[in-house]
Amino acid sequence: MLPIDAAAHSSRWRRRHPAEKALLGFGLTLCAVSLPPWPGAPLVAAATLTVLLGPAGVPGRALWRAFRIPLGFCVTGAIPLLFEVGGERGLVALAPGGPAQAGGLLLRTASASLGVLLFAFTTPVSDVLPRLVRAGVPAPVVDVALVMYRIIFLLLDSLTKIRQAQAARLGLTSRAATWRSLGGLGATTFVRAFDRAQRLQSGLAGRGYDGTLRVLVPACAVSRRFLAATGALLAGLVVLTLVLERFLP
C-alpha cells in the first residue's frame, strides 16, 4: 500500500462522508486557481496546511513526501515563463513580466496541489469509488476502476519482490547489470500482470459475477456542521483575499 493510501485509511476523518471532504478539498483547490495569486494563493495554502496538520492529523513528514512531487512539476512549469527565446534582446533573455507570471503560476499550482492532497490524505479510494454509482457514473466504469485499484497494489508488491531478488543476486552491481535487470523487471511484471488479470477473472466467474461488483460501503451521514464550517472557510478566504488585494502592493 502506498504511504498516502495508508495515511488515508488511518486518518481522523476516515469515517466522514467523502462528499464533505470533497467539498473542502476541491473547494480550496478552486479558490487557489480562481482567486488572485497574491494574496489569494498564500492564504489558501496557509488554510489548507492548517487543516491538514491540525484537524485532519496528517503527519508533516508524510505530507512533505507527497507534496514534493507535484511541487517539482509546479517549479518545472513555471521556469519557462521566466525567459523568452529568439526575441530582440538575444537568443535567450529574461522575459518582461516573466518573474511575476512564474511566481503567480507557482503560487496557484502549489496551493491547488495542497487542496487535492487534503482530499487524498483523508479519503481512501475504496470509499469513493462505490459511491460514484449513486452519483450517476456507470457501474461498469466503477467496476473497472476498482479492479485496477486492486491490481496496482498487487503489481507494486510484485515489483518490490522482483527488485529485492535481483539485488540479492548481484543484479545491480554494475550499469550493464542494472539495465539487464531493469529489462527483466519490466518483462516479468508484464507477464505477471496478465496472470493476475486471468486469476481475477476466474475468481469473479467462480463467485457468480453478473456484471456488477457488490461492495459493502460503510454507512455515514453528511454532517451539516462540517458543511457549514467549510462554506464559512471558503467564503472567508474569498472575502479576505479581495480585501487584502486592495491594500497590499
Dihedral angle, C-alpha 8, 160, 74, 238, nearest 10 °: 0
Give the mean model confidence (pLDDT) for residues 151-168. 86
Q: pLDDT tens, 179-234?
A: 988 898 888 888 888 888 888 888 878 877 776 777 777 778 889 999 999 999 99
At 35, the pLDDT band (50, 70, 90 cuts) reads very high
Query: What percent of the chain shows pLDDT beyond 90?
Result: 38
pLDDT tens for each residue of 99-140: 899 999 999 999 999 999 999 999 988 888 878 877 788 888
For residue 207, give Cα distances in angstroms to 86, 132, 145, 212.
64, 23, 19, 12
Question: 155: closest CA among 202, 215, 203, 197?
Answer: 197
What are the pLDDT digits (tens) for 49-100? 999 999 998 999 999 999 999 999 999 999 989 888 877 777 788 888 888 9
Q: Report domain extents, the chain.
A: 1-122+219-245, 128-204
Its pTM stands at 0.81
Cell of 202: 476466474
Q: With a cut of 90, say whether residue 44 has pLDDT above it.
A: yes
pLDDT at 122: 92
Distance of CA 152 to the CA centre of its chain: 15
Backbone angles phi, psi at 210, to 5 degrees: -115, 20
